[in-house]
Structure 1
Amino acid sequence: MKLTSHPYTLELKHTFTIATNSRTTTPDVLVEFEHDGIVGYGEASMPPYLGETQESVLAFHRKIDWSRFSDPFCLQEILPAIDAIAPGNTAAKAAVDIALHDWMGRKLGAPWYRIWGLNPAKTPVTSFTIGLDTPEVVRAKTREAEPYRILKVKLGRGQETDRMMINTIREVTDKPITVDANQGWTNLEEALRMIEWLAERGIVFIEQPLPKTRLDETAWLRERSPLPLIADESLQRIGDVAGLRGAFDGINIKLMKCTGLREAHAMIQVARALGMKVMLGCMTETSCAISAAVQLSPLVDWADLDGAVLIRNDCFRGATIVDGKLTLPDRPGIGVEKIK
């Protein structure tokens, strides 16, 4: 068994601005897991708030002692052992998880949606993300998103800017919109008034309206909100799910935060048992990590898996978006082919 990792920089098509920062690139690490002449692909994408770097991912991967494991099919043994090497490092762990799943599917000759018994026809539509920007750029991005049936809008820079974003988009389209405040609303009463205003303008739900530690206040807001509230920054891993019931109506699962497909699949089961809605999200990623997440998508209510279409240097071919709907390729593993 051999794992090879190398740095890669994702180049964004547009400057990406959220409530807390802006950037034009995302650091990434691509990995290959090789055994028995078969290669599985994985990826670690690291936006600033994850706290990981290309160097930390490479250092974590060097700590894995593959001689401890005799059979790469034993994911329930291998992945917890890798998780226990050090706390955190969730993107580094996700890259290994994705590569092992890809290898196993290729070895079996089956895509993961089939291994899980899922119907590929039940993949959801995905939203297209529009970051905070000037009215002119927001209008251009909205027109660029014409093939998509639902939009995701980043808010949280103040009520004047937030209202401008929604009003500008509504000048161009009446498509459903989901809102991600990225913890940017700090005044509880103002947050409620903003949600009430948004509810009159075709908004589907609100992601992370308040800072992640303010769960009691989020529960207060949820009781009064006319729109569902979805946890993003408040949710990292499976141990967080149960504690969010009551504060949120649903959760947004991201492979880079939860260590990959194994834990994401388990998180979906826990959320369903608790009566919560489920969304699959992403970072800016290549089609490698996106295609891995799409394998799970028939299980969820909503998807925000547009990360690969937001970059200009995707080096994989995998899941596609057809008329706004996620479409799974009939290829084994996570369904990707390396193209450069």
Structure 2
Amino acid sequence: MTPALATGTARLHRVVVERFDVAGAFTISRGAKRHVDVVLCEVTDGVHVGRGEGTPIYYHGETAEGCAAAIAEIGGQGGALTREELRGAMPPGAARNALDCALWDMEAQRTGRPVWDLAGLVRPEPVRTAYTISLGEPESMAEATRAAWGSGFTLLKCKLTGEGDRMRIVAIRRAAPDADLVVDANESWAGLDLGAESAALADLGVSLIEQPLPAGADEALARLAPALPICADESCQSLADLDGLRGYQAINIKLDKAGGLTEALAMAHAARSMGLRIMVGCMLASSLGIAPAVLLAQFADWVDLDGALLLASDRDQSLHVVDGLLHPGTLWGEPRNNQGLSA
């Protein structure tokens, strides 16, 4: 899983902000979103073009405009861009993710080799992805569960909020008795009896709890013997956070948090060496933002890559899901014909 380093002589070609509407609303404990703004960047060697997309980490204060400005600043400094230099020149986040993934994609165009081959990974196969059940009243979450289950999703990720959560899972379980369930509290369980909550959810067939406590308040987990494994999301942003984790049995790797596929691969390698299990997750994003994570998902324990499925519309050549299986596509990371600079 060691990332390949060579990137030719790529330079920034363009960077733009794009908006995608959400299908309905995406609701978690922090609020509801009805659209997502992403940053799209392209790099070129003068002949070939590579593309990457990033979704700002809003709870870090990132914005699409700010990410675009950061990419433009790096691109305006002149000189060739390489992935390893990028890791030192930009902090983790969506801007670096978009640029890092664009560099990988351009290398695929330049060499005629897919990114999975360049990175020393296995050829991607379809993977089972979770489908997110947005936070709501128990019956509305049950209704969404029935729709997802009926569409072939067998792994459901349920958003919780720290109050009335057991009733939500009871309703979801009744709606889909055989579904595999994971829950995401998005840091909302401060003050709850974590042992009791995990035991109650285990009895309801939940298999994983994601980020129950606020980032920085993880010391309580180190004294806990939970009935379920606990996954770090907000508490594990990039490779630098791994050594300080306590009380977690898994981590959620998101390319936007990590700052690109290069960092994400390093995180996955380090996590495995530490005995941690891996979830590969995402922000709301188009298929262009999801596609690089499909490579990482090939060796993950849980896959949560439904960000494009929650949009009202997606890009052309979007990734396809059939019976809950997310299929790799040719939108990103595969050699493409007609490589030319866009206007």
TM-score (norm 2): 0.88
**Structure number with higher helix proportion:** 1
Retained in 2: the 8 A contact 1:319–1:335? no
CA offset digits 1:198-240 (Å, max 9, x no partner): 001111110011111112101122xx21110000010111010
CA offset digits 1:274-332 (Å, max 9, x no partner): 11111110000000110011022112211100000000121242443232223223677
The offset of 1:148, in angstroms, is: 1.0
Q: Which residue is 2:5 aligned to?
A: none
CA offset digits 1:126-146 (Å, max 9, x no partner): 100011113443233112212
| Alignment gaps of 5+ in structure 2 | 1-10, 338-343
Of the structure 1 ranges 20-29 and 169-178, higher mean CA displacement relative to structure 2 is found in 20-29
Q: Which residue is 1:57 aligned to?
A: 67
Q: Which of 128, 145, 157 does residue 152 from structure 1 map onto?
A: 157
Q: Does 1:96 align with 2:104?
A: no
Q: Which residue is 2:122 aligned to?
A: 119
CA offset digits 1:167-198 (Å, max 9, x no partner): 2212211201001011110125x222111110
The offset of 1:68, in angstroms, is: 4.2
CA offset digits 1:90-133 (Å, max 9, x no partner): 11111101111111112222222222333346553110001111
Equivalent-residue separation in structure 1 for 2:88 and 2:310 (angstroms): 34
Alignment of 1:257-268 (within 5 A): 257-268=257-268
Q: Does 1:238 align with 2:239?
A: yes
Equivalent-residue separation in structure 2 for 1:95 and 1:178 (angstroms): 28
* 1:250 alignment partner AA: A
Retained in 2: the 8 A contact 1:128–1:145? yes
Q: Which residue is 2:3 aligned to?
A: none
Equivalent-residue separation in structure 1 for 2:172 and 2:99 (angstroms): 39
| Alignment gaps of 5+ in structure 1 | none
Q: Percent identity?
A: 35
* 1:55 alignment partner AA: E
The offset of 1:29, in angstroms, is: 1.5
Equivalent-residue separation in structure 2 for 1:243 and 1:250 (angstroms): 13
Retained in 1: the 8 A contact 2:308–2:314? yes
Q: Which residue is 1:254 aligned to?
A: 254
Equivalent-residue separation in structure 1 for 2:203 and 2:63 (angstroms): 41
SS, match of residue 166 in structure 1: helix
* 2:185 alignment partner AA: A
Q: Which of 8, 28, 41 does residue 18 from structure 2 map onto?
A: 8
Retained in 1: the 8 A contact 2:15–2:72? no
Q: Which residue is 1:75 aligned to?
A: 83
Q: Which residue is 1:45 aligned to?
A: 55
Retained in 2: the 8 A contact 1:207–1:229? yes
Equivalent-residue separation in structure 2 for 1:187 and 1:94 (angstroms): 35
The offset of 1:81, in angstroms, is: 4.6
SS, match of residue 28 in structure 1: strand
Equivalent-residue separation in structure 2 for 1:46 and 1:273 (angstroms): 29
Q: Which residue is 1:187 aligned to?
A: 191
Q: Which residue is 1:226 aligned to?
A: 227
How many positions carry a matched residue from both structures? 324
Q: Which residue is 1:139 aligned to?
A: 142
* 2:227 alignment partner AA: P
Of the structure 1 ranges 118-127 and 285-294, higher mean CA displacement relative to structure 2 is found in 118-127
* 1:323 alignment partner AA: D
Q: 1:30 to 1:331 in 2, by over 3 A?
A: closer
Q: Which residue is 2:40 aligned to?
A: 30
Retained in 2: the 8 A contact 1:110–1:332? no
Retained in 1: the 8 A contact 2:129–2:303? yes
SS, match of residue 194 in structure 1: helix
* 1:76 alignment partner AA: E
Q: 1:122 to 1:315 in 2, by over 3 A?
A: closer
Q: Which residue is 1:207 aligned to?
A: 210
RMSD: 2.2
Q: Does 1:320 align with 2:320?
A: yes
Q: 1:115 to 1:278 in 2, by over 3 A?
A: same
Alignment of 1:255-294 (within 5 A): 255-294=255-294
Q: Which residue is 1:176 aligned to?
A: 180
SS, match of residue 196 in structure 1: helix
* 2:84 alignment partner AA: Q
Equivalent-residue separation in structure 1 for 2:25 and 2:123 (angstroms): 33
TM-score (norm 1): 0.88
Equivalent-residue separation in structure 1 for 2:116 and 2:200 (angstroms): 39
